[in-house]
């Protein structure tokens, strides 16, 4: 690391541990899993009773089905790691204000 002028903070480095947390997921020898506390938080999310609460939840989830979303967010794998041996597809869309893209397999 010194040769390439790379630095690491000791408090953020882990070696020989069975599980690490990264981007709110757990990585183990068995793969990537969701944090159980996050699953509980989503399952216990209160039903929105005002338009502002609904917009806040939809902004977070980008869907209209609260119960289906709760189920989807609490069943692994929500996010799967890409398979480098499979083909990647890039879907794009643009307007006069911006551009968006989705990388899929």
- The string of pLDDT tens digits covering residues 18-74 is 998 877 778 888 888 877 887 787 778 888 899 888 887 776 665 446 667 777 777
pLDDT attached to residue 62: 57
DSSP state of 46: P
Q: Give domain limits for the chain.
A: 10-78
pLDDT attached to residue 76: 67
Q: Which two tokens stand for residue 44?
A: 């216990």
- CA neighbor of 77 nearest in space, from 15, 19, 34, 13: 34
pLDDT attached to residue 28: 87
DSSP assignment of 19-40:
EEEETTEEEETTEEEE-HHHHH
pLDDT at 85 over 70: yes
d(CA 44, CA 7): 41
Residue whose pair of structure tokens reads 């119960």 in the numeric block = 67
pLDDT at 10 over 80: yes
> What is the layout of strands, in order, in the sheet containing 31-34?
19-22, 25-28, 31-34
């Amino acid at each position: 690391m010194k040769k390439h002028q790379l630095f690491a903070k000791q408090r953020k480095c882990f070696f020989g541990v069975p599980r690490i947390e990264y981007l709110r997921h757990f990585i183990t020898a068995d793969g990537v899993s969701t944090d159980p506390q996050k699953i509980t938080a989503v399952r216990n999310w209160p039903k929105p009773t005002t338009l502002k609460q609904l917009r806040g939840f939809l902004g977070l989830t980008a869907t209209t089905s609260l119960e289906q979303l709760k189920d989807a967010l609490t069943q692994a794998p929500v996010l799967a790691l890409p398979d480098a041996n499979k083909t990647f597809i890039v879907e794009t869309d643009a307007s006069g204000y911006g551009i968006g893209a989705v990388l899929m397999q």
